[in-house]
Amino acid sequence: MAISLGELAVRFGCELRGDPATLVDSVAALGHAHGRSITFLANSKHRKELELTQAAAVILDRKNADSSRVQVLIHENPYATYARIAATLHPLPTRAPGVHPSAIVAANACIDASAYVGPLTVIEEGVTIGARAVIGPHCVLEAGVVVEEDVRLVSRVTLCRGVAIGARTLLHTGVVIGTDGFGFAPERGGAWLKVPQVGSVRVGPDVEIGANTTVDRGAIEDTVIEEGVKLDNQIQIAHNVHVGAHTAMAACVGIAGSVNIGKRCMIGGAVGISGHLSIADDVVVTGLSMVSHTINQAGVYSSGIPTEEARKWRRTVARFKRWRTVEERLAALERAIHAPPRARQEEDDD
């Protein structure tokens, strides 16, 4: 697909400095672009690459526009504009509507005529699939699942009983939504009694969930993923968690049960969040942090210790281990300093 710079400028609200008839047919990085590709600059640190690029045009903001020797599309948010243009130039392949002959579909499932169901997929009783939805190969949709319009399940996605998936949501390979939460009641003798998980999972519209991420069903009420949430690969979300709209999480985050996460939060990779706490709107938690208490105010929060050269790290650990002794000596010194003169004299005599 080739599109003129003039059409892109009008469609995406850009100021064009260049020939509106110039055609582009692909996107590329600044340093690898060619005469029919478009690229972007969102960080001034890459301005040197901008001076050398061979792209047909560059998407950038006004303050960097004069540094470009090629044509430019000016927008206050170059990266988001690039994303929209890239989606236009590189659209996802379309699927012809229909159900593959190898799919197993319950007689009372309701599948829109414009939807696609791939090979070896299982659609159980009472499932509803909306218009233009794409259900890839080897997916399993258990009884009562609702999939709204334009949803895409890439492949091997499992939606357990009663799960609801909002419009335009994208679930990547291996996603599992609605498995039982980790709920067990202790009994005498150290045994565990399984607690029935009778809630479900509600996923809002425009959500994206990465490969092999799991979201557990609620114990009583539903686990909720609100609109616009973006989840990376290999995330674990436990039962009764509520994730606010437009929150984003990087890979390997682990969230324990009954956590309430606010809107527009950003959770870094491998963050662990303890159960039964709340995180306010607009909170950023940096990677590898451990959240063990409620966060009531917006801001940036961190924990953990950055990597060190091994010998320095061993010395640091040794100091940690000696800290109790140092603390006791310091407390004794403070008591001696603040003791009455007579008491100090008696200690000296002893």
Active site residue 239: yes
User: 10 Å Cβ neighbour count for 150?
Assistant: 19
Q: What are residue 147's phi and psi, to 5 degrees?
A: -120, 115
CA end-to-end distance (rounded Å), the chain:
93
The single residue of 75, 138, 172, 239 carrying the catalytic annotation is 239
Q: Which residues on adjacent β-strands are paired with residue 141?
A: 123, 159
CA 154 to each of CA 28, 117, 282: distance values in angstroms, whole numbers, following the listed order: 25, 11, 30
Cα–Cα distance measured from residue 295 to residue 286, given in angstroms and rounded to the nearest whole number: 14
Q: Say which residue the tokens 């000596």 belong to.
A: 329
Residue type present at position 177: I
How many Å apart are CA 206 and CA 33, to the nearest integer?
31
Looking at the annotation, which residues are catalytic? Answer: 239
